[in-house]
Amino acid sequence: MTLILQAEHLTKIYGAEHAVKDVSFSLAEKSSTALIGPNGAGKTTTLSMLAGLLNQTTGTISLNGETNPDVRKSIGFLPQYPQFFSWLTALEFTEMAAKLSGMDSKHAKIEAQKTLEFVGLGEALKKKTGTFSGGMKQRLGLAQAIVHKPKLLLLDEPVSALDPVGRREVMDLLKNLQQDMTILYSTHILNDAEEMTDQLLFLRKGELVEQGSLGDVRAKYDSPRYLVEFTSEEDALNFAARAPWKVSYRGTLGLIDITNGLPEMKDLLGYLAGSGLTVRKAERQTASLEEIFLKVAGRR
């Protein structure tokens, strides 16, 4: 596993405020990393520093072993709300982007067209970007970020502005890209992070409060439990009162949480079978990323 990017003790201070505080992480080649955290956690600031738009106050960024290099040569960047010159067409813009990243004119034109087709803008090549919808802009933003085949792709909320269909499509595109590029993306849509990530970085108030693979983070914050659903609230109340484990319940449907002193599944089922209560469903649950998120984000 080769490391492509290493950020060490990255800090950005505005006046007296620490927008990003002592953040260190590394990205392995062709891995995908999700940067998650509540609004104002410093996700965009972190990405801007990696993209070379902002200078860090302290700390170092190494790319391919080179310390504080001109990152602009190796990255593709998609801002959260990409803005285009409204008077250029999608093809003109993407072509310009490719040329500015050092591609020669002939290749730039071919690659621009191919990339636009890849992101699903094949029909809109000659349309002025000023007429584009939000979803089209997001796709064009992705196209300009990948047209020059960068090693490292930095995406700020790549799918948050899209409808469910568009989100699905863009996630599939990103999975496709992952075969050739290292991807670091921020998101607050946790399903997406859950779907495509080798590494999670949790930011809160500018600090990296948790990092690791999805499995590791889940194991750390997971509090396994059983959820038993009864047909009536009465049965739920009965269960809560008589069961040999610590039980909490909520709702008229008789939802039962077993949060403490976890039994084996077979013991629970055996107990339920002998209790005469009418059970609709009994399942073992693991924490979703959203629950982990709330735990990490809310941790004092």
Q: Which of 3, 13, 28, 96 binds other proteins (CB under 8 A)?
A: 96
In angstroms, rounded to a whole number, what is the distance separating the alpha carbons of residues 171 and 183?
12
Does 44 bind other proteins (CB under 8 A)? Our answer is yes
In angstroms, rounded to a whole number, what is the distance separating the alpha carbons of residues 160 and 158?
6
Does 54 bind other proteins (CB under 8 A)? Our answer is yes
Does 185 bind other proteins (CB under 8 A)? Our answer is no
Does 56 bind other proteins (CB under 8 A)? Our answer is no
Does 14 bind other proteins (CB under 8 A)? Our answer is no
In angstroms, rounded to a whole number, what is the distance separating the alpha carbons of residues 55 and 286?
41
Pairing assessment for the beta strands 17-28 and 32-36 based on DSSP bridges? unpaired
Residue 92 or 222 with smaller CB distance to other proteins: 92
CB-side neighbour CA atoms (13 Å) of 11: 11
Does 72 bind other proteins (CB under 8 A)? Our answer is yes
Does 107 bind other proteins (CB under 8 A)? Our answer is no
Quick check: 89 and 125 in contact, CB under 8 A?
Answer: yes
Q: Which of 113, 144, 182, 199 binds other proteins (CB under 8 A)?
A: 144
Q: Which of 5, 37, 63, 84 binds other proteins (CB under 8 A)?
A: 84
Report the interface residues with other proteins, using CB under 8 A: 44, 47-48, 51-55, 70, 72-73, 75, 77, 79-85, 87-88, 92, 96-97, 99-102, 141, 144, 156
